[in-house]
Chains A and B, each alone.
Chain A
Amino acid sequence: MKIIKKLGLTLFIIGLVIFTSLIFIGKYELTESTFDSYVKSRGFKSELFIDDIQKNVVGKTYSNQFELSSDITSALENANETYKKEQQWDKVIWDKPHSLSYSLIKPSAKGIVVDNQGLFFFLTFGLGIIGALMFIIPDVVLLGPPGIKNNGIYQSKATNRGWIGYLAFIYLVSFYILLYFYADYIVNLVYLVDPISKSLSGNAASQWFLYGFLYCTVMVVMGIRMFIKYRHNKYQVIRTASVLFFQIAFAFLIPEILVRFNMPYFDFKNAWPLDYDFFFDWNIKSLINSGTLGIFMLVWGTIFSIIIIPIVVYFYGKRWYCSWVCGCGGLAETLGDPYRQLSDKSMKAWKIERYLIHSVLVFAIIMTAMTLYTYFTGVDSLFGIKTYDLQFYYGFLIGSIFSGVIGTGFYPVMGNRVWCRFGCPLAAYMGIVQRFKSRFRITTNGGQCISCGNCSTYCEQGIDVRAYAQKGQNIVRASCVGCGVCSAVCPRGVLKLENGPEEGRIQENPTLLGNDIDLMKMLKDK
């Protein structure tokens, strides 16, 4: 069994190394026809850029994409600079340099990966999946009978901020930076999933398709790990199955299939303000222009975010979304599970969390309000602030850096819910409902707490669960995503996630710390 595990790890690492090395191989040639048709389709008027590319880039063979990217982006920047100086605004190309470069490099890629997509898919995704499963599945036997399996977590270099953890951290952060800002460097990786994309939506894959596919793959593999680790705990098993279902069906397959039928790409379970560009004018326009289904999507998205979300939070707490439906939560609960103990439980961290997450919520609301103001009035700024600027900075700072690079990249050092805890505006919004108007709570079982600290340690949201439990107090916290792990790891059966009457939900109930009632009443009155 241990041999299978080791072999699996080796295969996984081989797959990962090949995956990573694909960035450095292949040849690139931008052909005349590719370039011309792209320029035509975009209607570029920048003669300087077009000339520059035609003269210096087209027809030339590059041995790597970095040089090609650099030639394209500098051509673009030079041309733009000149036109801006001359105030020839219609000739400026407003695309982000690396997205434009991506559009040109993707069709320019040649060589071994492009010619052998199937083979390389197997050598990367295939080996990765097989290896990971060989590493994970023997745990059914190796970890012993069903039960809590946290042995050695704080002795492992991978899960206790050791060198493996930092390596994973650097790798994840780099991947997200490439994905969000330098997609033109990873076209080879995108080619790996081209055939799958074509079979689903009929289109060639974009970096976002690669990300979506990778996301689902990682969640499934690590979801299997969850199924094994928590096989004694039905709540965990059902919850994990639920996030997998919503990610694969709603976030991945349905949107792709919609595109195949010329419908807008739409994730029915995504809610504003997590889905921050839902009310952006391009989205509204595209939905309105897509017939009855598009209008339905617009109405559904609005009702879902503003009415359904808070009502269900009232009945079940925000867990129904955060750890049963949400994709971000889904990744956190599968890929992120090995890192859940790394969240900071200090009072200071809680303070930072409250400031940060509510600031993001306010930012999201202001940005959306401005967006709608601009949409309905046509005025593009208010109090001297441009709507577009707000959208841009939100998208860059929150949408990309916070939720992606930090939110996932920092798993191995700050725990698996960095984004959900410190940044997600939807979590903040649901948290306010959960804290003040909800039936959900974690009930503390009388006086049975022994203050051991397992609950706090394994709370991914950094809640000091023990601080409540040892006082015989129920846990009602805005940030609780109801993953149920505190209850699972409790060695004394003290914690239970419950939806019950609001009455008596928060009230301290230490009558059962063990002393007779009179004394406890006195303590309470004090």
Chain B
Amino acid sequence: MKHVVIIGNGISGVTTARHVRKMSDQKITIISDETDYFFSRTALMYVYMGHMPFKNTQPYENWFWEKNRINLIKNRVEKIDTDSKKLLLKNGEEITYDKLVLATGSKPNKFGWKGQDLDGVSGMYSKQDLDAIEKYTKNIKRAVIVGGGLIGIELAEMLISREIPVTFLVRETSFWNNVLPKQDSQLITNHVKSHHVDLKLDTELREIIPDENGRVKAVLTSKGETIDCQFVGLTAGVSPNIDFVRDSKIECNRGILINRHLETNIPDVYAIGDCAEQENAIGRRRPIEQVWYTGRMMGETLAQTLCGNRRQYNPGHWFNSAKFFDIEYQTYGWVTARIQEDEQDYYWESSCGQKAIHLVFDKNDKSFVGINTFGIRLRHEMFDRWLNEKKSIEHVLEYLKDANFDPEFYKQHEEEIINGFNQKFNANIQPKKKSWKRIFTTF
């Protein structure tokens, strides 16, 4: 019986284990020193906010692992010896593998700021980070968050939920504008401000100043301003968590280098999820994709390979989602911060300033390229199909009602959206009524 050893019990590693078990009888071991059981990383914020107890972030009950014969080891791998196929654990134990899956995830970026390791400074990535934030934010007067990405805004929401005043240092001139187009970014920027976040744009961290006990006292910004605070959240992105891999023969760049089959340079060693880096980026995707969904997809693919059906990682159309305080965001296909030269776009925003849609399409053949949606839920399946079939922007708008996924009785905006489009592009698109038949006709 082959022994599949997976380092990391996040979504990538656990998805691999689950699917390997579905398809085969191999021995499976997952090693992690973060937590006893798999939990949803994206849900950590809700534990702090009191929406959920930590237990509820675990998608499977504790008996699940034994029942499915997935061994869990809570320890840290210190060394990988790929010649003898052995792992050395922190407690001195050795584990032999036949196939090794590296799914070690990320760690928060620290850019060598002075004071970045003081008491009261934390990232927001792991369960340990959550515990640290819990500990450091008791009865404090102000927190400073550094870095305006998805984790930063979540951390801001967390702290605001406990009525802790937040100053948010964002390097860019508006929130997340390296990913979102200008209008979209502005919408979110306004929303963040409406939640009483002291948003300081175009501002970077210079240093973190300690008090006499080595705890955070204040930060100094690139604008020369000193802000008193008792907690600093470092959320300036994440990078692959692979320090212990670097000493091995496994080839790394920023992440562990893999080919389209998720294989590293060493036979029987694979890397998936946040820690992996594609040698050649796939389509318009980044070589390192630090997204829940891609971790899950890689896990599914790799399980096939591990069970004897060597598979290429072949992600479908790009999609992603997030929530910025009260505004939900979904994206299907490609909408980039700067609309490409051969593309055109159409942006619609509701009068309430809480809902918006940004459509991108090809300038020449009018084919639909991608959509950002804020405050309006859209049906993943419809957009995936439209992208597969290379439907035109007119088609997408005409049938937009089929794609609405908002709860019943919600106000619908399709007519407004289409009217705006017709005006801007001198078109004459008439929306079709929602049809179950179309929604359920698949492939």
Chain A residues with CB under 8 Å of chain B are 144-148, 150-156, 160, 232-235, 238, 341, 345-347, 443, 445-448, 450-454, 456-457, 466-467, 470, 484, 487-489, 491-493, 496-498, 500-501, 503-504, 509, 511-519, 522-523, 526
Contact = CB atoms under 8 A, between A and B. Distances in A.
Contacts of A235: 407-410
Given A452-B43, A493-B378, 19 more contacts: A151-B161, A153-B50, A154-B52, A234-B411, A452-B46, A453-B56, A457-B51, A493-B328, A496-B377, A496-B405, A497-B407, A497-B408, A500-B436, A513-B293, A516-B316, A518-B314, A519-B300, A522-B304, A523-B304
Contact of B42 (A144, A152, A452): A452
Contact of B56 (A147, A446, A457, A498): A457
Contact of B316 (A144, A500, A517): A517
B40 A492 contact: no
B97 to A, nearest CB: 24
A500 B405 CA distance: 13
B200 interface: no
B41 to A, nearest CB: 9
B195 interface: yes
Contact of A516 (B194, B314, B321): B314
A219 B101 CA distance: 55
6 contacts: A154-B51, A451-B43, A498-B408, A515-B297, A515-B315, A519-B314
Contacts of A156: 50
B384 A512 contact: yes
Given A148-B326, A453-B57, A457-B52, A487 B407 contact: yes
Interface in B314-358: 314-316, 319, 321-323, 325-326, 328, 330
Interface in B374-423: 377-381, 384, 405-411
Contacts of A516: 314-316
Contacts of B301: 515, 519
B380 A447 contact: yes
Contact of B440 (A148, A152, A504, A523): A504
A523 B49 contact: no
A450 B407 contact: no
B6 to A, nearest CB: 18
A488 B405 contact: no
Interface string B10-54: 010000000100110000000000000000101100110111110
Interface of B: 11, 19, 22-23, 40, 42-43, 46-47, 49-53, 56-59, 61, 161-162, 194-195, 292-294, 296-297, 300-301, 304, 309, 311, 314-316, 319, 321-323, 325-326, 328, 330, 377-381, 384, 405-411, 436-437, 439-440, 442-443
Contacts of B304: 519, 522-523
B57 A452 contact: yes
Contact of A448 (B22, B51, B321, B439): B321
A156 to B, nearest CB: 7
Contact of A453 (B52, B161, B194, B330): B52
Contacts of B53: 154, 160
Judged by DSSP, the binding face of B is mixed
Judged by DSSP, the binding face of A is loop
Contacts of A448: 293, 319, 321, 330, 380
A519 B311 contact: yes
Contacts of A501: 436-437, 440
Contacts of A492: 321-323, 328, 330
Contacts of A503: 440
Given A148-B326, A445-B379, A470-B59, A517 B443 contact: yes
A508 to B, nearest CB: 13
Nearest to B437: A501
Contacts of B315: 514-516
Given A152-B49, A153-B50, A238-B409, A452 B381 contact: no
Contacts of B440: 500-501, 503-504
Contacts of A155: 50
Closest 8 CB pairs of A and B: A446-B380, A147-B326, A493-B377, A452-B43, A234-B409, A152-B50, A491-B323, A155-B50
A526 B42 contact: no
Nearest to B23: A526
Contacts of A147: 325-326
Contacts of A446: 319, 379-381, 384
B296 to A, nearest CB: 7
B442 A451 contact: no
